Chain A
Amino acid sequence: MITIIDYGAGNIRSVLRACAEVGAQAFIASDPQVIAKAEKIIFPGVGAAPSAMKNLIKTRLDAAIINAFKAGIPILGVCIGAQIALDSSEEGPQKCLGLVPGKTVRFRLKDKLLKIPHMGWNEVKVVQPHPLLAGIKPGDEFYFVHSFYPQPAEKINIYAVADYGGDFCCALGSRNLFATQFHPEKSGRLGLELLARFANWDGNIDS
């Protein structure tokens, strides 16, 4: 059973519907006590990292997520979920979850023809194998919509990159946490397959 965390950061029902499509049992929760008992967690979000983080703190969900991470519960972060897994964000002074060392940064594009937000379909290039990325082939594209991206401090935490005026990290991970800047729930069959793999994942990166 997957617990999808609702902390008032965007449309999370699309994640719930995508789980249903792949036959993964999931429900939405916003109570830290419910999340403390979760078997698996999806941590979505759209909007701005600082306000998302403030909401998490206000609802005391920050501690619930940190505890779940420490307890080895498989966690999938999506979009803002990936950004606030890091220590901080250039989008605001608010401290983030700090599950993975690094910082969320703004696109600094030299090419004036590239538009911000980075919105649309782009190739996800796997740079390090991960059970949740199994089966992704060169040329496979996922759906993005964002103006900031996560930049882990250590290469070991970077699992995939995408090219937008240069390569940027679009999938990061550490132990039982995996997080994507792209939206698997909006990425057609390939995204649904990633969610299905998460539904079957035991949280071990070697599995």
Chain B
Amino acid sequence: MLSKRVIVCLDVRGGKLAKSVKFFDTKDIGDPVAKARQYYEDGVDELVFYDITASRENRDIMIGFVEQVAAQIFIPFSVGGGIRSVADATKLRNAGAEKVNVNTAAVARKELISEIADAIGSQSTILSMDIRRVFRTKEIPSGYEIVVNGGVTPTGLDALKWAKTGEKLGAGELVINSIDADGTKDGYEIKLTRMIADAVGIPVIASGGAGKPEHLYDVLTAGHADAALVASIVHYGQYTCRALKEYLNGRGIKVRMSY
């Protein structure tokens, strides 16, 4: 059986590591390549690097940064932020990223998902979704709406419908990032994660809200997620990846324990 994955997300801004709270108040907290290496040695199963400024400022992602990471860590990692074309995705893949995340640009033009999946494979194409809770309407029956540009722009798209569309177009994995839970440390949005995980046949990564190991347990069991993404709780030294995995293993979740 496959193990459940613990994934660390590093928000990168101009080559520096940043952590955002509710996507606004961002502050830089160190060298992302060194941090990545530290998490790699500490047993993280996968890493995600988000270029948090690329989407907003129309900036290319630093290929050189990805190459540096690839020379340092020998587990899969993905890159997101500002990917707008097959050329962007292919460049990142060639620089050493196992997967790429598309988000805002896929909302603007959904064919981008199938184009990237055709070029580098579904298994390397992740659809990342920033989602917030809204009143149920005819347009948004699930009560969850897709927002873009780092969580600031509503789209009118229903999150559940968008997840299914993404799968159909060839996304190999989904990141479900709750804007409401992001940075709160109150736990993942279990209901949202489970709703989408049960509706699609591809792996689902839960994101936003991890504050303690129990939260990971909850989203990997009740939330039906295949992977749990963490950031603050490891960036500030509150928990190590090893401690998170030991906790999950102790509660009977199959996770990779030898590394």
- Number of A interface residues at 8 Å Cβ cutoff, please give it: 32
Of A18, A145, A186, A190, the residue contacting B123 (CB under 8 A) is A145
Of A17, A141, A187, A192, the residue contacting B3 (CB under 8 A) is A141
10 further contact pairs, Cβ within 8 A, besides A11-B96, A121-B256, A145-B76: A17-B70, A18-B74, A120-B2, A120-B5, A120-B45, A137-B258, A141-B3, A143-B75, A188-B75, A188-B259
Given contacts A14-B96, A121-B5, A122-B2, contact A115 B256 (CB under 8 A): no
Cα(A32)–Cα(B75), bound, Å:
31
B30 to chain A, nearest CB (A): 22
Q: Does B93 contact A (CB under 8 A)?
A: yes
Q: Does B213 contact A (CB under 8 A)?
A: no
Interface of B is mostly: loop
- Number of B interface residues at 8 Å Cβ cutoff, please give it: 28
In the bound complex, residues from chain B placing their C-beta under 8 Å from that of A189 are: 74, 259
B44 to chain A, nearest CB (A): 9
In the bound complex, residues from chain B placing their C-beta under 8 Å from that of A118 are: 2
Across the interface, name the chain A residue whose C-beta is closest to B3: A121
In the bound complex, residues from chain A placing their C-beta under 8 Å from that of B14 are: none
Given contacts A17-B71, A137-B258, A190-B258, contact A163 B1 (CB under 8 A): yes
B95 to chain A, nearest CB (A): 8
Of A13, A46, A120, A122, the residue contacting B203 (CB under 8 A) is A120
Across the interface, name the chain B residue whose C-beta is closest to A21: B74
Across the interface, name the chain B residue whose C-beta is closest to A48: B121
* Contact between A186 and B75, CB atoms less than 8 A apart: yes
* Contact between A11 and B94, CB atoms less than 8 A apart: yes
Q: Does A134 contact B (CB under 8 A)?
A: no
B1-41 interface code vs A (CB 8 A; 1 in, 0 out): 11101000000000000000000000000000000000010
In the bound complex, residues from chain B placing their C-beta under 8 Å from that of A117 are: 122-123, 172
Can you offer 19 A-B residue contacts whose CB atoms are under 8 A?
A11-B96, A13-B70, A14-B96, A17-B96, A21-B74, A46-B121, A115-B203, A117-B123, A119-B173, A120-B3, A120-B226, A121-B45, A140-B258, A164-B1, A164-B2, A186-B74, A188-B40, A188-B75, A188-B259
